[in-house]
Chains A and B, each alone.
Chain A
Amino acid sequence: MGKTIIDKLWESHVVAKEVNKPDLLYIDLHLLHEVTSPQAFAGLREKNRKVRRPDLCFATMDHNIPTVDRFNIKDETSRLQVETLEKNCEEFGIKLEGLDSQKQGIVHVIGPELGLTLPGKTIVCGDSHTSTHGAFGALAFGIGTSEVEHVLATQTLWQNKPKQMNVKIEGELGYGVTAKDVILWFIAKYGTNAGTGHIIEFSGSTVRSFTMEERMTLCNMSIEAGAKASVVAPDEKTFAYMDGKAYAPKGNEFKEKCQEWKNLATDEDAVFDQVIEINAADIEPMITWGTTPSMCLPVSGQIPTAESASSAEEKQSIKNALSYMGFKGHEKLENVEVQHVFIGSCTNSRLSDLLEASALVKGKEVHPGVRAIVVPGSQSVKKEAESLGIHQIFLDAGFEWRDSGCSMCLGMNDDIVPEGERCASTSNRNFAGRQGKGARTHLVSPIMAAAAAIHGKFTDVRSMLQNQNPEVDRYVGI
């Protein structure tokens, strides 16, 4: 029987295999940030342990940092956490791209950008959105702080091999429908625990046609479907993206590696535990209405009522979500007004996301009732966008243009949505309190967020694309 890409990635990293034990897996790349690492370093220090392979670790700060006046961290505990990371990296000899670095950014944006993320690698980070790196054909998953400490000390992890799911997406996406809508649609249909205990391979013609940025968006939110990890087989697009990246192999070595990476693809006769087939044409621009990513509807949808629930638990959870989100039920999503728009996060803050959104806002103005911010995923993305004049399009329209960081995705810094106000957000979680206590988050694609910024309410972005504006069309994959 043939092997899946997941089998191949797994088997090539097994250090020890024993009966009645998980496999001991080797970790090729360990990404670190300020929030989930301090206790791990403290644990090493307590036991007088070293970092086994500091050369396979890489750190940045992203969760806590300000996106305005970035060197001036006013919150004392945030500052202490950032300084602790600096001290730990220095003490243990770990490479850090700090606040003063042009390479700093959200850890899941800079890994690929710097060529640290490569096909065939095992990658971990104390952050659930580590799944993002699977877009390159790497086995990448989020871990807790105890596991961070274990990887620092041993460069390995004990892991039971999860089940495998093939999610095949076939056909062409509709006009104005993006990778973000695909993953939101998937979670809406199959639920937030559809992937629990599984690693997903995303395959099919739609996925093959996706750019690397789109594949990253897809894999990024597979954790919101509960998956341990997700992966896309590397192909020519992957290789073209990696070519010339700072830490990627160069010259002949790169060519040889590409050959090796091609062999990672799932064998034709490989068997998955579960297969889900999706027709891309069924997918529409999506908006979450509630407090889990599965509470999500097409833009044309109507908010449900508790009566539509199939169980007592579901009824209660819809009731709670409606109350938190300030809905009665039956409202049309398209008429819902927003007060905030956030374009950013490890899901949607890359150059292509900013290009698409900017093409839509060009020459228009942010609605007077809306505060809109753009937070590039990295300082490199920011710089590149500025060299293309993208920042000016946003600024002219009335958006704020910030420095990079996780920002309003989780509001650990000052970028918070006030209680009772709504935010159209390109981030990944709409949990209660995520963007601020009482904040109401609606997850959308970057172009849907841009459309909401201009109209002050949710708008079917497709109605704005009907002019066949070539500049917009180019960026929405038409």
Chain B
Amino acid sequence: MSGFKTHTGKAASLKRDHVDTDQIIPKQFLKKIDKAGYGEFLFYDWRYHSQDQENPDFELNKEETKGSSILITGQNFGCGSSREHAPWALKDYGFHVIIAESFADIFFNNCVKNGILPIRLSEKEIQQLYTDGSDTVINQLTVNLEDQQVINEQGDRFDFDFDPYWKKMLINGWDEISVTLQYEDKIKQYEKERIVS
């Protein structure tokens, strides 16, 4: 996985709370056995009225959000099922960053493991990300993981918290399993002392 240091892009606004993973990717698309190609099914029931008819009212179908790589949303994003197909779909669609008031725990971890940066900002801070005079459009945001800052078009900077370990993993794009396999001696020692069976 390539490292994540900074990202600049257009943001799409999905002003909803408690978006569950069933909405992010409905169950009928969980039957594949690989990780690729989920983007076309992202928010499927919201994006499409029927198989070949888009819902023009859905936020991501609007002209001004086309080409977005940052998703802005509300509280408890990604609640529900543990399906990692949700971040796979978001990434495949083109999202690199998700900014929300809060995230569900499993979804948050699943994002980090797939090189998507989930950022928590307050409702008030999120309001200030919007392009002047708009409550739907954000033309450009820059996210800097090293400095832990989101920078809006006006140059205002918003600090965010991030776990130091996962920050390091993301910035370097390290394979987590390779890192853990270096702890083999400690794992063996633990098994020996506790006789895990």
Contacts and interface: CB of A to CB of B under 8 A. Distances in A.
Interface of A: 12, 15-16, 20-22, 24, 26, 28, 35-36, 38-39, 42, 47, 49, 52-53, 55-56, 63-64, 75, 77-78, 80-81, 84, 126-128, 141-147, 149-150, 153-156, 158, 160, 162, 192-193, 196-197, 226, 228, 292, 313-314, 316-317, 410-412, 429, 431-434, 437
A155 B180 CA distance: 10
A126 B82 contact: yes
Interface in B101-131: 102, 104-106, 109-110, 113-114
Contacts of B22: 410, 429, 431-434
Nearest to B184: A154
8 contacts: A38-B33, A42-B33, A53-B196, A80-B33, A150-B180, A192-B76, A316-B16, A317-B16
A81 B27 CA distance: 14
A153 B177 contact: yes
Given A15-B183, A42-B33, A313-B16, 16 more contacts: A26-B187, A47-B177, A56-B196, A77-B32, A80-B33, A144-B82, A144-B84, A145-B110, A150-B177, A153-B181, A156-B180, A158-B176, A192-B76, A192-B79, A226-B79, A433-B45
B17 interface: yes
A177 B105 CA distance: 30
B187 A15 contact: yes
A142 B34 CA distance: 20
Interface in B147-197: 163-165, 176-177, 180-181, 183, 186-187, 190-191, 194, 196-197
Interface string B16-37: 1110101100111011111100
Contacts of A49: 177
Contacts of B165: 20-22, 158
B196 A28 contact: yes
Given A128-B82, A429-B80, A432-B23, A26 B190 contact: yes
A223 to B, nearest CB: 8
A377 to B, nearest CB: 18
A16 B185 CA distance: 10
A433 B31 contact: no
B74 interface: yes
Given A142-B82, A144-B84, A317 B113 contact: no
Contact of B186 (A12, A24, A292): A24
A430 to B, nearest CB: 10
A42 B22 CA distance: 24
A84 B113 contact: no
Contacts of B23: 431-433
Given A158-B165, A432-B23, A64 B31 contact: yes
A153 B181 CA distance: 8
A77 B31 contact: yes
Given A128-B106, A150-B176, A432-B22, A226 B45 contact: no
B61 interface: no
Q: Which 10 A-B pairs have the closest CB atoms?
A: A146-B113, A38-B33, A144-B110, A77-B31, A144-B84, A145-B84, A142-B82, A128-B82, A431-B22, A193-B76
Contacts of A78: 31
Nearest to B36: A39
A158 B180 contact: yes
Contact of A313 (B15, B31, B80, B106): B15
Nearest to A193: B76
Interface in B9-57: 15-18, 20, 22-23, 26-28, 30-35, 45
A432 B191 CA distance: 44
A431 B180 contact: no
A317 B17 contact: yes
A404 to B, nearest CB: 18
B6 interface: no
B113 A147 contact: yes
Contacts of A16: 183, 186
Contacts of B80: 128, 429, 431
A16 B183 CA distance: 8
B109 A155 contact: no
Contacts of A77: 31-32
B91 to A, nearest CB: 12
A126 B35 CA distance: 15
B187 A154 contact: yes
A20 B164 contact: yes
Contacts of A432: 22-23, 45
Contacts of B102: 193, 196
Given A55-B197, A154-B177, A433-B45, A197 B31 contact: no
B27 A412 contact: yes
Nearest to A195: B105
Contacts of B75: 193
Contacts of A156: 180, 183, 187
Given A15-B183, A128-B81, A160 B104 contact: no
Contacts of B15: 313, 316
A307 B15 CA distance: 19
Nearest to A311: B17
Contacts of B5: none
A226 B78 CA distance: 10
Contacts of A22: 163, 165
B83 interface: yes
Contact of A196 (B83, B105, B113, B187): B105
Nearest to B15: A313
Given A226-B104, A429-B22, A15 B83 contact: no
A24 B76 contact: no
Nearest to A47: B177
A143 B23 CA distance: 19
A313 B127 CA distance: 13
A64 B109 CA distance: 25
Which of B79, B81, B105, B163 has the most CB atoms of chain A within a 10 A radius of its CB? B105
Interface string B76-97: 1001111110010000000000
Contacts of A154: 177, 180-181, 183, 187
